Amino acid sequence: MVSAGRTVVFVTDRAAGPNEPVYTVGDYLLDRLAELGVSEIFGVPGDYNLEFLDHIVAHPAIRWVGNANELNAGYAADGYGRLRGMSAVVTTFGVGELSAANAIAGSYAEHVPVVHIVGGPSKDAQGTRRALHHSLGDGDFEHFFRISREITCAQANLMPATACREIDRVLCEVREQKRPGYLLLSTDVARFPTEPPGAPLPLTAAAPVRARCHCSPRPPPH
């Protein structure tokens, strides 16, 4: 997908040339956000989101807006969402997302559509169940994901095989409910190769259209 301002052209047969960067899940997410009118993304760099931030900076239709801390980034995204109808904030796993939680909870209470993108450790690293930076040290990497369920309308712990479908589902719900959504984007999933969107998200997330945009029902809580 190529973006020029707010105009979006969908490309269904794009193939990367020998010197062209591989199109990734991170690129897909950014293209979907640009499609929804997001032209600035707020946030704070962290060890698990740095590679994704490179893709934000390189995106032709999105500008990175760095903030002093995650709480400020969350409130900046809240204000942007009120004015523009959709916004996004990027934090790192654990300490970063918890710092933004107060702002995200406020957006939930006041029906502000904010997409909270959390850069997380790789799936392989999580699979070792070892104590990693920003975790609670007990091998459980879903503590913060479970917290997000209380203050967002839709959540996804993105996996390579279903990441694009889950991104579409969460974005559909955020736009329809006008409340925050949560995407846990692990470092390896962010760089996983995929195809650009073949069609735009529908204008409504009504039931028959939701199937067309691959918006599946939310999984039940554990």
Cβ pair 197, 206 in contact under 8 A: no
Domain spans of the chain, in order of start? 2-212
> What DSSP line would sit under 133-149, residue for residue?
TTS-SSS---HHHHHHT
For residues 172-184, average pLDDT: 97
Decide: 154 and 169 in contact? Cβ < 8 Å.
yes
Q: Is the pTM of this model over 0.95?
A: no
- Contact between 109 and 153 (Cβ < 8 Å): no
Q: Which fold has domain 2-212?
A: Rossmann fold (3.40.50)
Q: Tens of pLDDT along 103-128? A: 999 999 999 999 999 998 866 655 55
Q: What's the chain's average pLDDT?
A: 84
Write out pLDDT tens, residues 21-40. Answer: 899 999 999 999 999 999 99
Q: What is the CA radius of gyration of the chain?
A: 16
User: pLDDT tens digits for 146-177?
Assistant: 999 999 999 999 999 999 999 999 999 999 99
